[in-house]
A and B are shown apart, each in its own frame.
Chain A
Amino acid sequence: TGTFSYTTYHTLEEIDEFIDLLVAENPNLVSKIEIGNSYEGRPLNVLKFSTGGSNRPAIWIDTGIHSREWVTQATGIWFAKKITEDYGQDETLTAILDSMDIFLEIVTNPDGFAYTHSSNRLWRKTRSINAGSSCVGVDPNRNWDAGFGLTGASSNPCSETYHGKSAFSEVEVKSVVDFVTNHGNIKAFISIHSYSQLLMYPYGYTATQATHQAELDEVAKAAVDNLASLYGTKYEYGSTITTIYQASGSSIDWTYNSGIKYSYTFELRDTGYYGFLLPAKQIIPTAQETWLGLITIMDYTLNHPY
């Protein structure tokens, strides 16, 4: 992984090779877990970073639930390498990994991601067939059991925000849900998207404030301040519904309602030049600055147990 190119976009096969290489190079720190298979049968790979102990409190990060948001998967690759480089070198990350595990799912929606490389670069959804419709796929970030089917998702299978026939109908979503539920000790859940430069916390499906709104807001502010300290990239932050729009059935609303207090969604660069087509030369700066936001949330999670 030392000669892997972090400045270009990669196919699913290349990402899978990277994952296997990283595991081989760091057998005492990194392992690969298969949490299920996608609709089309691809493995759902999660990297586990752990320094030992069983069922430690953990942090979940996913970087690719919407397949066309290529900078997120690329950022996930960079994070994985960064974690292996910084453990034992960086005080904050070392302290986190000495007490907690980190789970990283670089490609949450591999069918969609493969499809963006083979057929349609702008594909967002899963690739499941919808009975009675010629339109394929479900928005995997409208398929969670949190305000499922309410305003902020579409009941039309042809829509980009189609919520699916029922909550957790998508195997890519259900696999994460089962993993998180069975683990039972996930303390922070961070989902990474692009674009718009936002850091959001629950809720998206309701205007009701989260019980921990003040604390989540304070942590978000610290995270975006740290993120901006590198290149001056400005982020807005707040609850999903107040910051961007009403969105029902999203992952972090479900995780928060399931007891994971530190539930956040990032929307990475940019604010409106390239959108989902961010040039590859921006991958590393995007990842570097996002890491600062991420480490702020992870450090806070370590130091504020609940």
Chain B
Amino acid sequence: KEDFSGHQVLRISTANEAQVEKVRELEKLEHLQLDFWRGPSYPSIPIDVRVPFPSVQSVKVFLEANGIKYSTMIEDVQLLLDEEQEEMLAFRSRARS
């Protein structure tokens, strides 16, 4: 299974159209392998993006350099997925018994 250890989901809050455009630039950088859960649209609408561990630093530096605010929505995607799997396994174990 794909391992999402260290992947973070960032919530980006843009203040104006110029900042939205900056995030669109980020979207085009394929080597970062970003997965936009909510893509850039209007300044008032938050942008959510899953960032693989190797790209986390670059993305944060880019946002900070452009004065774009962000917060960490999910610290480690894999931790949530592990919890989800554990719940499903526990359910199956109960169902079998």
**Residues in chain A within 8 A of chain B (CB atoms):** 5, 8-9, 118-122, 158, 160-161, 195-196, 244-246, 272-277, 279-280
Contacts and interface: CB of A to CB of B under 8 A. Distances in A.
B37 A5 contact: no
Contacts of A273: 73
Given A122-B35, A160-B35, A245-B45, A272 B80 contact: no
A272 B48 contact: yes
A244 B4 contact: no
Interface string B76-90: 010011011001100
Contact of B74 (A120, A246, A277, A280): A277
Given A5-B91, A9-B88, A280-B87, A196 B2 contact: no
Contact of B45 (A119, A160, A244): A244
A16 to B, nearest CB: 16
Interface of B: 1-2, 4, 9, 11, 30, 35-42, 45-46, 48, 50, 73-74, 77, 80-81, 83-84, 87-88, 91, 95
A161 B36 CA distance: 10
A120 B73 contact: no
Contact of A277 (B1, B40, B41, B84): B84
Contacts, number: 62
A8 B87 contact: yes
A119 B91 contact: no
4 closest Cβ pairs, A-B complex: A245-B41, A120-B2, A8-B91, A277-B80
A158 B30 contact: yes
19 contacts: A5-B91, A8-B87, A9-B88, A118-B1, A121-B1, A122-B2, A122-B4, A122-B35, A122-B77, A161-B39, A244-B38, A273-B73, A274-B74, A274-B80, A275-B9, A275-B74, A279-B87, A280-B84, A280-B88
Given A5-B95, A8-B91, A276 B41 contact: no
A245 B30 CA distance: 21
Contacts of A276: 37
Nearest to A120: B2
A52 to B, nearest CB: 36
Contacts of B42: 245
Contacts of B87: 8-9, 279-280
A205 B30 CA distance: 24
Nearest to B71: A272
Contacts of B81: 121, 277
B91 A272 contact: no
Contacts of A196: 38
A160 B36 CA distance: 8
B87 to A, nearest CB: 6
